[in-house]
Structure 1
Amino acid sequence: MTEPIIKFRTTAAGTNKFFGVATLNSPASLNSLSADMVTLLTPMLRKWAADPDIVGVLFDAEGEKAFCAGGDMRQLHATLLKCGEKQNEYAERFFSEEYELDHLLHNYPKPLLCWGHGIVMGGGVGLLVGASHRVVTEGTRLAMPEINIGLYPDVGGTWFLARAPQRLGLFLGLTAAQVNATDAIYCGLADHFVRHENKAKVLDRVAAASWGDDSDANRETLSEILFEAGKGDSLPLSNLKAHEGTINELLRGNDIHAIASRIADFNTDDKWLQGALKAFGKGAPSSVVLTWELWRRCQRMSLAEVFRLEYWVSLGCCAHADLPEGIRAVLIDKDRNPKWNPARLQDVSGAFIADHFEQRGALPDILASLK
């Protein structure tokens, strides 16, 4: 019998109340988020939102390695090779429905607890950040690595990275740096640190707590449960906080070429910072400029506006060569030797970037209706 790609169930929450539980169930793929997963998640979340007996939702994943390693880029890659610059109906469906789901998470009317243990990358970060109660653990490894495959930090990344302290969000987007639980909390991408071994205790406390019909009161109850569960735990050291001054100095100003020059000239013995800055030089030059441009544009945009803009830019990436080449190099052939086009940052023209922002067809109704 084939295992479902998402397991849905309910768990007790007080007297005659329940939490809905959605468990990503593709550990072999590190719970990569497929279009079919998204198609299942959104209607179930809406159903639970309308059910008066459901007072909250838990979002987690099977396996110890990953909550979610990102979107299913392998499936997208096959359609990119087939469609080229022509209309890609799979990409339109995938990005529009994924962004609809992410927007729903950010605006969910009930407490939504996301358990971000293990690898949390790309689309997985989009799921985590949207929750009202975002838990990270001692095993959390969080990153926005889209620059490595010729994309950019989407799933609302252009919105939430722009709201991280000073230039730390920009740094995460430009370098694909992996960060820990403390970094995630410091950047505003997570709320609570709880050791993974205490997850069962959290669910026991959910079952024993008193829940009512007031969602705000229920959110406060869940916050208290998570605070108690993590009280006394020692958090790992924050690399971002330790290097914040250096990062802000390197990324200062309004010229991405000057930023790139400072990074190229910078020397450090710190292995974490060294690795992050090295990744900047290996990412797609087009992705560097897109990430920079979107970080600037989205500072004052609403989340709904951001998702609509990201939809067009994502389709723009699908119509250019870097995205299929990046997916090939990182996920298909795994030679990690992409042939970027343009190959150098100075060769990325304004017209080339502007083409990524062109509206290709009609905006899907599910995105047009976002508020």
Structure 2
Amino acid sequence: MLEIQPVNQPDSPVVFELAQCHNGMQIGIATLNVPKALNALNLDMIRLLAPQLQQWASDDNIAMVMLKGAGEKAFCAGGDVVSLYKAMSSEGGIAQIETFFSEEYRLDYQIHNYDKPILLWGSGIIMGGGLGLTAGASHRVVTETSRIAMPEITIGLYPDVGGSYFLNHMPPGAGLFLGLTGASINASDAKLVGLADHFMDAEKLEMLLQNLVEVNWGKTNVLNHEKLTQLLISLDEASHVAPASEIEPLLDTLKALDELQDLQQQIDFILALDSTDSKWLSKAQAGLSHGSPLSAALVKAQLERNKGKTLKACFKQELAMSVRAGEFGEFQEGVRALLIDKDGQPNWRFKSVSEVTTQALDSFFAPRWSDHDHPLRDL
């Protein structure tokens, strides 16, 4: 029987618990706990997660950490962009934007560089900020209900939370395609593009926890990583067949997309693909057609300008881009149309990518801080 000890209040926006292992070690469990909002990540949640992860990192009795979401619908459907919209609409809002993204990216970077194993239970919806938490976990488990996307083009933003890094590490053209279309991918796709490691049936979460507490954990992080990997491989093999990949049949097509140089050519190429027998591809094309042309230009530029850069450099660049997005107005208009007024009719500043000026695009990549005063200088 599982022995779970609460660390904080059960109604906290992030619930922390300790699972007692059979050999006396413990597993730290963090559950995003705002299921009505699909566990959208807000500043309060970030400020709960970061210090608790740090505390567990320095506790010799903690063998590993597990991140999951409350409810069955989502791990995390993104950042709390409604709160960001309110900040953009208020006096002094840019400072709030800077604070949110600074602390969010710092948390993401902390997860990427965590010494102990972090098991991410990625069942249900994982979008935007949720992918920021997911991408850096050492062991990412997806299920038949997983739907993963970076749909920022629909709200006038761009794929942040390290997207400049992980989209560039996907098979040729895949990162560009996903950024431009905001396409939602399944568990098999996630493994194919490097955003997940293992597949399990969603119903087996309790069984997974039971197996975890029976592992003979030690004090050596490297060995604990190996023990977790072996357990997940065995559970992966005992699960049902994962859903068929939508991306795998398109790998050659995406490589051809990547070889095109001009953004308009790339957009035309995607829109010309035959989606008659693919509802998934048709939806991806619709996402591109109705998305922000400025966002499309930002996706291409962020991938080109950050190619080969370190994760730290990517986060520092993205912070400048995100604060600029808070100033520029396109992000605000996109959130208004999708989530505030819900009219689905964003009035994009630029009606096509050909209208996006070099001046506007370059303003997102202009240095905002010196190396000495950058908010993420100490990553």
TM-score w.r.t. structure 2 length? Answer: 0.94
Please tell me whether residue 82 in structure 1 is matched to residue 106 in structure 2. Answer: no
1:252/1:259 contact within 8 Å kept:
no
Q: CA deviation at 1:47?
A: 0.4
Partner of 1:350: 358
Query: What amino acid sits opposite 1:118 in the alignment?
Result: G
User: In structure 2, which of residues 241, 249, 253 is the aligned counterpart of residue 242 of structure 1?
Assistant: 249
- Counterpart for residue 50 of structure 1: 58
Are the aligned partners of 2:173 and 2:256 in contact in 1 as well (CA < 8 Å)? no
> Which ranges in structure 2 are unaligned for 5 or more consecutive residues?
1-8
Does 2:153 match 1:147? yes
Q: Distance in 2 between matches of 1:30 and 1:362?
A: 37
CA deviation profile, 1:83-126 (whole Å, cap 9, x unmatched): 4xx76111111000000000000000100000000000011011
Of 259, 262, 265, which aligns to 2:266? 259
Q: 1-side partners of 2:24 and 2:182: how far apart?
A: 45
State how 1:118-129 maps to structure 2 within 5 Å. Answer: 118-129=124-135
Question: For the residues of structure 2 that align with 1:251 and 1:271, how far apart are their CA atoms?
Answer: 23
Query: Secondary structure, in 3 states, of the residue corresponding to 1:63?
Result: coil
Relative to structure 1, the CA distance from residue 326 to residue 196 in structure 2 (aligned partners, 3 Å threshold; closer, same or farther) is same
Partner amino acid, structure 2, of 1:174: L
Deviations 1:284-311 (A, max 9, x none): 1110010101111222000000000000
After the TM superposition, which residues 305-324 of structure 1 pair with which residues of structure 2 at under 5 Å, given as runs?
305-324=313-332
Cα distance, 1:330 vs. partner? 1.1
Query: 1:356 offset after TM fit, Å?
Result: 1.2
Deviates more, 1:244-253 or 1:58-67: 244-253
Q: Which residue of the other structure, out of 193, 203, 215, is the alignment partner of 2:199?
A: 193
Give the drift of 1:225: 1.2
Of stretches 334-343 and 44-53 in structure 1, the one that deviates more from structure 2 is 334-343
3-state DSSP of counterpart to 2:275: coil
Per the alignment, residue 172 of structure 1 pairs with: 178
Q: Distance in 2 between matches of 1:70 and 1:45?
A: 20
Alignment-derived partner of residue 360 in structure 1:
368
Residue 251 of structure 1: CA displacement? 4.2
What is the 5 A alignment of 1:217-228? 217-228=223-234
Letter in 1 for 2:207: K
Question: Do residues 98 (structure 1) and 104 (structure 2) align?
Answer: yes
- CA shift, 1:44, in A, is 0.5
**What residue is the counterpart of 1:292 in the other structure?**
300
1:4 and 2:9 equivalent? no
* 1:255 CA displacement: 1.3
Counterpart position of 1:301: 309
- Kindly tell me: are residues 324 and 50 of structure 1, through their superposed partners in 2, closer, same or farther at Cα, counting changes over 3 Å? same
Read off the aligned partner of 2:186 and give its amino acid letter: N
- For 2:349, the aligned partner's letter is N
What is the root-mean-square deviation of aligned Cα atoms in Å? 1.6
Task: After TM superposition, give the deviation of residue 362 of structure 1 in Å.
Answer: 6.1
Aligned pair 1:209/2:218, yes or no?
no
For the residue of structure 2 that corresponds to 1:319, the secondary structure is helix
**Which residue matches 2:4?**
none
In structure 1, the gaps of 5 or more residues are none
Distance 1:286 1:98 in 2: 23
When residues 2 and 263 of structure 1 are mapped into structure 2, their CA distance, relative to the original with a 3 A threshold, is: same
Count residues with an aligned counterpart.
368
In structure 2, distance between residues paired with 1:43 and 1:308: 21
1:252 Cα deviation after fit = 2.8
- What CA deviation, in whole Å up to 9, does each residue of 1:38-66 have, x standing for no partner? 01110000000000001110000110100
CA contact (8 A) 1:198 1:229 kept: no
The 3-state SS of whatever aligns with 1:300 is coil
Query: CA contact under 8 A between 1:14 and 1:211: conserved in structure 2?
Result: no
1:247 aligned counterpart, secondary structure = helix
SS at match of 1:23: strand
Stretch of structure 1 that moved more, 284-293 or 240-249: 240-249
> Matches of 2:257 and 2:169 in 1, distance apart?
18
How far residue 267 of structure 1 moved from its aligned partner, in angstroms, is 3.6
SS at match of 1:237: coil
* DSSP 3-state at the match of 2:376: helix
Secondary structure of the residue aligned to 2:259 is coil
